[in-house]
Amino acid sequence: MEFKIEEFGLRFTTPENPTVAEIMLYDSKRVDMANTPIYLGMWEMAKTLIQEWECELMPDYKVELNKITDLRIARLVEQAGNAVLAWRLSLDKVSKN
């Protein structure tokens, strides 16, 4: 799946056809991060599924956030985490055919 967040010049992808193991890793990370602030947890979860990442503002999505002082990155990370979560939840929807 391809995601674009124009506000930040961000483009990233997640698996087109995720494996059971990839989804279980994401879901397990959710449990692991249960006592972590929500957006930090969602970001760590999203990183388990991100494959391609292109963003001039944040070239390396694996960089430690506590080393970044550009506060625009906080919004970028929040939006990317939300996008991946919405996509992940959509995988659970069963069609009514």
Q: What is the 3-state secondary structure (H, E, C) of 2-32?
A: EEEEHHHCEEEECCCCCCHHHHHHHHHHHHH
Residue 34: which pLDDT band, with cuts at 50, 70 and 90?
confident
pLDDT for res 97: 56
The domain of 37 spans 2-90
The pTM assigned to this predicted structure is 0.90
Whether 96 maps to a domain, the answer reads no
Whether 17 maps to a domain, the answer reads yes
Whether 81 maps to a domain, the answer reads yes
Distance CA 3, CA 44 (A): 17
Whether 97 maps to a domain, the answer reads no
What average pLDDT does the chain have?
94
pLDDT for res 96: 59
How are the residues of the chain apportioned to helix, strand and coil, as percentages rounded to the nearest 5? 50, 10, 40
Whether 95 maps to a domain, the answer reads no
Count how many domains the chain has. Answer: 1
Whether 41 maps to a domain, the answer reads yes
Q: Report angle CA 65, 76, 52 to the nearest 5 degrees.
A: 85
